[in-house]
Amino acid sequence: MRDETIREVEQFLYREARILDNRRFRDWLELLTDDVHYWMPIRSNLYPVNSKAISVLDGSRLEESEVSSDHDLALMDEDKDSLTRRIDRLDTGMAWAEDPPSRTRHIITNIEVEAGDSQDELRVYSNFFMYRTRAETEQDFYIGSREDVLRRVNGQLRVASRKIVLDQTVLLAKNLSNFF
Amino acid sequence: MVADLKGLVDIDQGLLSRRIFIEPDIYQQEMEQIFARCWLFLCHETQIPKPGDYFTTYMGEDPVLVVRDSGGRINAFLNVCAHRGNKLCRAESGNAASFICAYHGWAYSNDGKLQAVPNLKDAYYDDLDQSKWGLTPVAQMDTYNGLIFATFDPDAPPLDDYLGDVKWYLDVFFNRREGGVEVIGGVHKWMAPCNWKLPADNFCGDGYHTGWSHLSAVQSGFGGDFRVKTASAGGKSVATGNGHCILTLGPDDPSDPAVPEILDYEESIAAEVRKRMGPRLDLVKPHVGTLFPNFSMLRSVARVFRVWHPRGPDKTEIWNWVFVDKAAPPEVKEAFRIVALRAFGPGGGFEQDDMDNWQECTQTARGVVSRRYMSNISMGLGHESYDHDLMGWVSDYRLTENNHRHFYDRWAQVMASDSWANL
Ligand code: FES
Ligand SMILES: [Fe+2]
């Protein structure tokens, strides 16, 4: 991967993080392709295959992945329309989870850039630390990894898909009212 | 051992002391009187279909292991090693012939028997009666419509009696088509800083909050297409007894999301469902409810059921399942999956906002002065009567706190009574 491309991707992700932290959600939508898939599966707490804490009875019943598959339940499974409606909701003046609004800080790190499935796409891995504080003393830590497909549309990078995996299994925050 | 409960719940005036949402001794008494005695939900049968399948959960704050043994029978045990009390199974689900404790290695078969003890011969001189040191089973376990319930109390009435007349309403949620329902893989789990009773009473029948708490979600299209048709005055709140509460819409009110696959599906099965459920379905459309104490369900917009696990006076761990008719075609199941998680998961357009309100209703009760004042559940007082067709105490109007009063009336009875015979 060319250095120039890596730098471009980094700058794109940092700018996106700033736009989210500044609550410019309509501008953020512009950074997503129209066919975007925005997905936050569930993380489960399972024994690994070689665990000696159990002896398995039926090997075909083993869940090998602790991350839910795409036909299972997810924390978010969104397209551009549903993301737009989430942002419409914030504009109603009655979205109580965000009224008063969260103050968020997205720290994006560990960025890796690889070739994508097609010429105009890149596969990008990153980690995030999203700190949310709200009202008087509320605070939440959302930490996890992202796997993005970035696509070049009219010369500009856009998010075509994003898989967000939180590290918590029981979400310790009372809700998910922000974007990642 | 019984805290002084006098004056905490005044059903005749619709007043509720806010002490019950925050005080530790009241919470502790709930653990003993309610959670160690009532029938509590464990999981759905379709989560553990095969021999060896297990799911770990909680009854109150007690960890519980639900497991289908090698012979295919479902059992539930305290998820606690009999040796020194270590938590036995630390995974949330899986498949096992046996479970081996991480501390000293005692091994239990999936029917709860103690199978192997390290150093039995040398250290125990072969003198430990293994048959006495198996896992502790729940006192009673039973299922209804694939929902698995258990109680720690051998004297609790059978599940069938405990549920009583709410069973028809459960059928509408979980058995309206041949084969009943199945759950979508995975459980939403999150921690809310509120007392467990606030969400439980909300699902009893707080139709009142929907129009304001959730107006933003309705206006931005997370709910049904209520812009086309609004709810009639025909909805009822129905308290069928034993603290179980159901809220209904009018029979022809819209309750489905504006998703073509779902609307078409519902239309295609309407006659079949009406035939199976009988003429009561011409009177009401049940859409949300709570089984006393902490199991709730919803079939308006999303099809979900819930457990509100108590985690101290001001914390609740919420578990949310999404269910679908087993007989529904795959694209309909997929549509319900999407709708449910977008509306009623922890990130749902509806559900995000409830957390904030339940949190603050709990947290303000930390103030000793705030908690001197009673909260008001008097809406519709005197405007209810027993309805034989609907098998419960029914409100005259769709907006009422009738069900809240029945829920807390039962709460006070169970808290105060030492025997089921007096309940
Ligand atoms: S505590 Fe389980 S083996 Fe000792
Ligand atoms: Fe609500």
Confidence check: pLDDT of B211 > 50: yes
Asked if B50 and B119 sit in the same domain, the reply is yes
Please tell me whether residues B278 and B362 are part of one structural domain.
Answer: yes
Q: Ligand 1 in contact with B83 (CB < 6 A)? A: yes
Give the ipTM of the model, two decimals please: 0.97
Whether B287 is covered by a domain: the verdict is yes
Q: Which residue has the higher pLDDT, B300 or B167?
A: B167
Both B207 and B126 in a single domain? no
Task: For residue B214, report the distance from its CA to the centre of ligand 2, in Å.
Answer: 7
- Kindly state the average pLDDT of the residues B252-278: 94
The Cα–Cα gap between A93 and B143 comes to 44
List beta partners, residue A114.
A123
| Rounded Cα–Cα distance for residues B255 and B252 (Å) | 9
Q: Which residues pair with B317 in a beta bridge?
A: B191, B309
pLDDT at B42 exceeding the cut of 70: yes
Inter-CA distances, B115 with B202, B353, B409, Å: 45, 49, 46
- Cβ(B177) – ligand 1 distance below 6 Å: no
Maximum Cα–Cα distance for chain A, whole Å?
A: 55
Same domain, yes or no: B90 and B192: no
Residue B210 lies in a domain: yes
| Angle CA B390–B391–B394, to nearest 5 | 65
Assigned domain for B418 exists = yes
- Total number of residues shown for chain B: 423
Closest partner CB to A82 (pick from B53, B213, B342): B342
**Residues B281 and B406 both lie in one domain:** yes
B298: contact with A, CB 8 A cutoff: no
Q: What pTM value is reported for the model?
A: 0.97
- Per-residue pLDDT tens over the stretch B188-203: 999 999 999 999 999 9
Q: Which of B116, B141, B166 is the last residue of a domain?
A: B141
Q: CATH number, domain at B132?
A: 2.102.10.10
Question: Using the beta-carbon criterion (under 8 Å), do A173 and B190 form an inter-chain contact?
Answer: yes
Residues B231 and B285 both lie in one domain: yes
Q: Is residue B168 included in any domain, yes or no?
A: no
Residues B96 and B226 in one domain: no
pLDDT digits (tens, 9 = 90+) for B344-371: 999 999 999 999 999 999 999 999 999 9
B18, part of any domain: no
The reported pLDDT for the residue numbered B231 is: 66
Q: Which two tokens stand for residue B169?
A: 């309403």
> For position B218, which CATH number holds?
3.90.380.10
User: What is the SS3 assignment for B51?
Assistant: coil
Question: What does the alpha-carbon distance between residue B86 and residue B191 come to, in Å, rounded to a whole number?
Answer: 24
Tell me, yes or no, whether B370 and B269 share the same domain. Answer: yes
Q: Are residues B242 and B341 in the same domain?
A: yes
Within 8 A by CB and 6+ apart from B351, the residues are A175, B343, B344, B345
The span from the CA of A120 to the CA of A150, in Å, is: 8
Q: What is the pLDDT of residue B133?
A: 98
* Catalytic residue ranges of B: 104, 206, 209, 214, 354
List all residues of chain B from 24 to 43 with a beta carbon under 8 Å from chain A.
none
pLDDT at B228: 46
B84 lines ligand 1 (CB under 6 A): yes
Average confidence score pLDDT of chain B = 95
Cβ(B101) – ligand 1 distance below 6 Å: yes
Q: How far is CA B105 from CA B66, B68, B82, B83, B115, in A?
A: 20, 22, 11, 10, 11
Shared domain for B303 and B356, answered yes or no, is yes
Domains of chain A: 3-44+74-166 (3.10.450.50)
According to DSSP, the β-strands at B74-78 and B316-325 are unpaired
- Structurally, chain B folds into a number of domains equal to 2
Share of chain A above pLDDT 70, in %: 100
Do residues B240 and B296 share a domain? Answer: yes
The answer to whether position B22 is within a domain reads: no
In a domain, B12, yes or no: no
User: Rounded mean pLDDT of chain A?
Assistant: 97
State which residues form the domain around B256.
178-422
Give a yes or no: residue B19 inside a domain. Answer: no
Q: Are residues B403 and B356 in the same domain?
A: yes
Residue B223's pLDDT band (cuts 50, 70, 90)? confident
pLDDT of B2 reads 59
Domain boundary among B114, B141, B168: B141
Average pLDDT estimate for A93-109: 97
Q: What average pLDDT score do residues B120-146 get?
A: 98
- pLDDT tens digits along A110-128: 999 999 999 999 999 999 9
Cα dihedral across residues B304, B307, B311, B315: positive or negative: positive
Pairing of strands A74-78, A54-55: unpaired
Quick check: B226 pLDDT over 60? no
Q: Do A77 and B94 touch (CB under 8 A)?
A: no
Residue type, B136: T
- Within a 13 Å sphere around the CA of B283, how many CA atoms are in the beta-carbon half? 15
Binning chain A into helix, strand and coil, the percentages to the nearest 5 are 25, 40, 35
**Average pLDDT, stretch B318-343?**
97
How much is the average pLDDT of B2-19? 89
CB-neighbour burial class of residue B362 (10 A; exposed 0-12, middle 13-18, buried 19+): buried
pLDDT above 80: residue B232: no
pLDDT of residue B227: 46
Specify the DSSP element, H or E, that contains A26: helix A25-29
Residues of A whose CB is below 8 A from B221: 85, 88
Nearest to B390 by CA among B242, B285, B299: B285
